[in-house]
């Protein structure tokens, strides 16, 4: 080995020591500086100890911070958002009376099935499932086609519709069939079709949805009576079930709706509320549509409903009409169906053994048991894969009622809503004709007096001996109107949206600043200190390379593995004490010229 090679290595080694030394004395990590600068061993030991303690404390503290970060906690903040248009919600309306009595009467004359069914259920013995079988749900499960025929149709019941000062029509409503309670429900602004978004820029009842409906609650024929189902808490009422929900979500009028009575004008003022949740890893929310039924936007409620339906299908091999089902499940039969009940009915009525036969439907039994279990034990939810939507709009409602229509306006109201002046067919085909012609008769009689309201006529009208019959006719008209007509106004009260937003309680920026604080607190280290260490590493590596590449000629003779070996052996040759940092003057230069040599001409170890 040539002498100037050993010389260079010695020089490099000294450079390395100097670099380390420099870091120690100038570092921002003050503990290290103290160790490096201390001349007394005691002090060195003490500072080393303190540095170790500081290091340990910092490590513990850092682990706490990282654990805190990995918990991904969120806080919820609420914010008023102004100045943006607000999406008008979907409004789903259902008649609380699933069956239209008028239609039922018509259908009964055309087909014996309906009559047979009513006889069947009133004679047969269904045991504990009696009230289920005799309910509208049982009717639907056994007479699907008839149930659809006798349900209310929007084109018959919608008398008037205005939305944001423009007329709307029955075809602006989308049908949603609810087999359990309401049959035909209709959704305004469902956006399932090609209607575009309804954004609202104004508040108040004049700019919302206003509909006038006739409920079609005809008086039953004398002597006819319906069975009262004591187990149902919602049946046997007149009115509308209304649900206001975010567009494109699945309606659930039974669970999330409210009732509107006939004879009143009901105002539903809305205020939009938005819920924004943070996705993984903070929570489990999802931006997807409803997994099992992508026609609808995801809500956790409808997801669980569809999941329950799946469980019923899995366990009973039939579906329940009490829960929504997806198009793929439409082929399955309902659990409550008595297959061939018509034949059974014929047999039993011939043999006259009705009240001795207990009719048992195993699938219905299974369905009732499964649904009962699911409603008392929520553990099935884990397997459903249902998650909250990350963005969800709901609406706060305030509902108020006022008496409507006032007697003074009833005659003209009927004229307008039924379009009587153009065509009296619609009212003639409706049982409301009784109300109209009653009023018509009275009004035509007294109109001349009322029109010419001189003092004398007023006196005469006041004390007129109006026959009891006419008074009864007027009362009857008012009764019919109040039993059947209602007005519903749904509008936005406020254009500012309340947004409940989840925010990361402790995000990456917080973590970094806390790490900075911790390292500073325990060790006096900052990013720049770490950069110093990086620089040190780079410089040490550079020196290492320099020593190996100094004599490229020799590189041909020695393999690189050999070079490393040489390097490590030579280390032992140099005594450790040839270099004393404290007698060494400040390190002069370690810049390199283009050839990798140091620019300093003096041999670095020559005494100065
Ligand atoms: C109702 O439907 C008609 C035609 O399909 C459409 O032009 C109109 O904008 C709709 N109205 C509303 C309020 O959606
Ligand atoms: C997310 O769901 C998984 C299982 O699906 C559950 O283990 C985890 O606790 C849920 N996380 C949150 C924040 O709810
Ligand atoms: C459902 O029934 C239709 C015919 O009624 C049939 O073509 C289809 O394959 C059935 N689907 C399933 C999933 O059974
Ligand atoms: C069964 O009904 C018949 C009439 O339909 C009646 O005469 C008979 O007493 C009833 N039997 C029982 C056990 O109720
Ligand atoms: C409706 O009934 C009224 C009275 O009963 C009658 O005067 C009118 O002509 C009828 N209208 C139609 C279109 O049948
Ligand atoms: C109004 O009533 C008075 C008293 O009954 C009568 O004299 C007068 O002619 C009436 N006027 C009209 C326009 O019918």
Task: Report the separation in Å between the CA atom of 117 and the middle of ligand 4, taken as the mean of its atom positions.
Answer: 19
| Burial label, 328 (beta-carbon count in 10 A; 0-12, 13-18, 19+) | exposed
Cβ–ligand 6 contact at 457 (below 6 Å): yes
**Residue 572: in which H helix or E strand, if any?**
helix 560-573
Cβ–ligand 2 contact at 284 (below 6 Å): yes
> pLDDT value at position 236?
87
Which ligand is in closest contact with the Cα of 457?
6
Task: Report the separation in Å between the CA atom of 429 and the middle of ligand 3, taken as the mean of its atom positions.
Answer: 40
Tally of domains in the chain: 2
Tokens 């086609």 label which residue?
A: 145
Final residue in a domain of this structure, among 483, 518, 550: 483
> pLDDT value at position 232?
83
Task: Report the separation in Å between the CA atom of 410 and the middle of ligand 6, taken as the mean of its atom positions.
Answer: 27
Mutation probe of ligand 5 site: the residue of 414, 424, 432 with most atoms within 8 A of C-beta: 424
Cβ–ligand 5 contact at 424 (below 6 Å): yes
**Residue 427: in which H helix or E strand, if any?**
helix 425-428
> pLDDT value at position 258?
95
Mutation probe of ligand 3 site: the residue of 318, 331, 332 with most atoms within 8 A of C-beta: 331
Residues with CB under 6 A from ligand 1: 163, 168-169, 171-172, 195
When mean pLDDT is compared over 40-44, 196-200, 210-214, 534-538, the highest value belongs to 210-214
Cβ–ligand 6 contact at 454 (below 6 Å): yes
DSSP string, 307-321: HHHHHHHHHHSSB-T
Name the closest-CA residue to atom 10, ligand 5.
424
Residues 478 and 405: their CA atoms lie apart, in Å, by 9
What 12-15 contacts at long range (C-beta under 8 Å, 24+ apart), as own/partner pairs, is 12/543, 12/544, 12/546, 12/547, 13/571, 13/574, 13/579, 14/579, 14/584, 14/604, 14/605, 15/543, 15/587, 15/590, 15/598, 15/604
- In contact, 442 and 467? CB cutoff 8 Å: no
452 falls within a domain:
yes
User: Is 5 a residue whose pLDDT tops 80?
Assistant: no
> pLDDT value at position 472?
92
Final residue in a domain of this structure, among 483, 517, 543: 483
Mutation probe of ligand 5 site: the residue of 414, 423, 425, 428 with most atoms within 8 A of C-beta: 428
Task: Please report which confidence band the pLDDT of residue 599 belongs to, taking 50, 70 and 90 as the band edges.
Answer: very low
Task: Please report which confidence band the pLDDT of residue 200 belongs to, taking 50, 70 and 90 as the band edges.
Answer: confident
Q: Name the DSSP class of 208.
A: S
Of 179-183, 216-220, 284-288, 418-422, the one with minimum mean pLDDT is: 216-220
User: Is 196 a residue whose pLDDT tops 70?
Assistant: no
Which ligand is in closest contact with the Cα of 331?
3
| Ligand 3 atom index nearest CA of 330 | 1
Residues 418 and 433: their CA atoms lie apart, in Å, by 10
pLDDT digits (tens, 9 = 90+) for 419-477: 998 998 989 988 889 999 999 999 998 888 778 777 777 777 777 777 889 899 999 99
Name the closest-CA residue to atom 9, ligand 1.
195
Task: Please report which confidence band the pLDDT of residue 78 belongs to, taking 50, 70 and 90 as the band edges.
Answer: very high
- Sort strands 209-214 and 485-492 into parallel, antiparallel or unpaired: antiparallel
CA dihedral 42, 46, 48, 52 (to 10 degrees): 160
Task: Report the separation in Å between the CA atom of 466 and the middle of ligand 6, taken as the mean of its atom positions.
Answer: 20
Task: Please report which confidence band the pLDDT of residue 559 belongs to, taking 50, 70 and 90 as the band edges.
Answer: very low
303 falls within a domain:
no
Record the pTM.
Answer: 0.80
- Rounded to the nearest 5 percent, the helix, strand and coil shares of the chain are 50, 20, 35
Closest by Cα among 397, 396, 395, 388 to 276: 388
Residues 251 and 557: their CA atoms lie apart, in Å, by 85
| Geometric angle at alpha carbon 485, from 100 and 169, rounded to 5° | 80
Same structural domain for residues 472 and 524? no
275 falls within a domain:
no
Closest by Cα among 441, 443, 433, 434 to 408: 443
> CB under 8 Å to 480, separation ≥6 — which residues?
431, 432, 434, 435
Task: Please report which confidence band the pLDDT of residue 227 belongs to, taking 50, 70 and 90 as the band edges.
Answer: confident
Task: Report the separation in Å between the CA atom of 414 and the middle of ligand 5, taken as the mean of its atom positions.
Answer: 15
Residues with CB under 6 A from ligand 3: 328, 331
563 falls within a domain:
yes
> pLDDT value at position 561?
44
Cβ–ligand 5 contact at 428 (below 6 Å): yes
Mutation probe of ligand 1 site: the residue of 90, 172, 192 with most atoms within 8 A of C-beta: 172
Task: Report the separation in Å between the CA atom of 62 and the middle of ligand 2, taken as the mean of its atom positions.
Answer: 26
Tokens 């020559």 label which residue?
A: 606
The most distant pair of C-alpha atoms in the chain lies apart, rounded to whole Å, by: 143
Cβ–ligand 6 contact at 456 (below 6 Å): yes
> CB under 8 Å to 532, separation ≥6 — which residues?
23, 27, 28
Task: Report the separation in Å between the CA atom of 331 and the middle of ligand 3, taken as the mean of its atom positions.
Answer: 6
Task: Report the separation in Å between the CA atom of 584 and the middle of ligand 6, taken as the mean of its atom positions.
Answer: 132
> CB under 8 Å to 447, separation ≥6 — which residues?
none
HSE at residue 219, side-chain half, CA atoms within 13 A, is 13
> pLDDT value at position 194?
54
Task: Please report which confidence band the pLDDT of residue 323 belongs to, taking 50, 70 and 90 as the band edges.
Answer: very high
Mutation probe of ligand 6 site: the residue of 447, 452, 456 with most atoms within 8 A of C-beta: 452
Number of neighbouring beta carbons within 10 Å of residue 164: 17
Cβ–ligand 5 contact at 429 (below 6 Å): no
Which ligand is in closest contact with the Cα of 171?
1
Range of the domain at 427: 406-483
553 falls within a domain:
yes
Closest by Cα among 452, 418, 450, 449 to 436: 418
333 falls within a domain:
no
Residues 175 and 153: their CA atoms lie apart, in Å, by 9
Task: Report the separation in Å between the CA atom of 411 and the middle of ligand 6, taken as the mean of its atom positions.
Answer: 24
54 falls within a domain:
yes
443 falls within a domain:
yes
Which ligand is in closest contact with the Cα of 426?
5
Same structural domain for residues 433 and 471? yes
């Amino acid at each position: 080995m040539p002498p100037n090679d050993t010389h260079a290595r010695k020089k490099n080694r000294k450079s390395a020591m100097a670099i380390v030394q420099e870091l120690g004395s100038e570092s921002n990590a003050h503990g290290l500086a103290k160790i490096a600068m201390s001349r007394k061993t005691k002090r060195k030991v003490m500072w080393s100890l303190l540095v170790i303690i500081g290091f340990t404390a910092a490590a513990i503290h850092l682990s706490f911070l990282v654990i805190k970060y990995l918990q991904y906690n969120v806080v919820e903040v609420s914010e008023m958002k102004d100045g943006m248009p607000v999406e008008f919600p979907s409004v789903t309306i259902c008649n609380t009376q699933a069956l239209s009595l008028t239609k039922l009467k018509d259908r009964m004359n055309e087909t014996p099935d309906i009559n047979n069914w009513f006889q069947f259920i009133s004679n047969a013995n269904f045991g504990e499932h009696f009230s289920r079988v005799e309910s509208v749900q049982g009717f639907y499960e056994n007479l699907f086609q008839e149930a659809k025929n006798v349900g209310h149709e929007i084109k018959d019941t919608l008398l008037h519709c205005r939305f944001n000062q423009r007329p709307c029509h029955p075809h602006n409503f989308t049908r949603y069939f609810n087999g359990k309670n309401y049959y035909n429900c209709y959704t305004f602004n469902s956006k399932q079709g090609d209607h575009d978004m309804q954004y609202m820029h104004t508040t108040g009842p004049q700019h919302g949805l206003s509909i006038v409906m006739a409920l079609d609650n005809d008086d039953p024929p004398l002597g006819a009576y319906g069975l009262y189902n004591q187990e149902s808490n919602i049946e046997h009422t007149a009115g509308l079930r209304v649900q206001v929900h975010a567009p494109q979500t699945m309606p659930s009028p039974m669970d999330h709706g409210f009732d509107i009575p006939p004879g009143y004008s009901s105002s539903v003022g809305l205020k939009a509320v938005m819920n924004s949740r943070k996705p993984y890893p903070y929570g489990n929310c999802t931006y997807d549509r409803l997994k099992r039924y992508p026609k609808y936007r995801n809500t956790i409620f409808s997801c669980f409903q569809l999941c329950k339906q799946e469980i019923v299908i899995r366990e009973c091999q039939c579906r329940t009409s009490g829960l929504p089902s997806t198009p793929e499940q439409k082929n399955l039969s309902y659990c409550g169906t008595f297959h061939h009940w018509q034949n059974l009915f014929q047999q039993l009525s011939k043999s006259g053994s009705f009240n001795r036969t207990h009719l048992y439907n195993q699938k219905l039994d299974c369905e009732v048991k499964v649904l009962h279990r699911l409603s008392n034990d929520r553990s099935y939810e884990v397997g459903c894969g249902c998650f909250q939507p990350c963005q969800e709009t709901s609406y706060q409602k305030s509902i108020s009622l006022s008496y409507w229509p006032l007697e003074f306006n009833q005659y003209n109201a009927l004229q307008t809503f039924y379009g009587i002046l153009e065509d009296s067919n619609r009212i003639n085909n409706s049982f409301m004709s009784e109300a109209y012609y009653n009023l018509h008769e009275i009004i035509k009689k007294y109109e001349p007096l009322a029109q010419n309201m001189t003092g004398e006529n007023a006196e005469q009208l006041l004390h007129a001996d109006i026959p009891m019959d006419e008074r009864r006719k007027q009362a009857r008209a008012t009764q019919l109107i109040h039993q059947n007509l209602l007005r519903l106004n749904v509008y936005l009260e406020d254009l500012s949206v309340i947004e409940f937003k989840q925010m990361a309680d402790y995000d990456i920026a917080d973590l970094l600043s806390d790490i900075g604080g911790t390292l500073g607190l325990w060790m006096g280290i900052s990013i720049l200190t770490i950069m110093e260490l990086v620089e040190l590493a780079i410089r040490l590596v550079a020196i290492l390379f320099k020593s190996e590449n100094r004599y490229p000629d020799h590189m041909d003779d020695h393999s690189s593995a050999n070079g490393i070996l040489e390097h490590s052996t030579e280390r032992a040759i140099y005594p450790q004490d040839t270099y004393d940092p404290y007698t060494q003057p400040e390190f002069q230069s370690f810049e390199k010229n283009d050839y990798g040599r140091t620019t300093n001409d003096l041999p670095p170890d020559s005494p100065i």
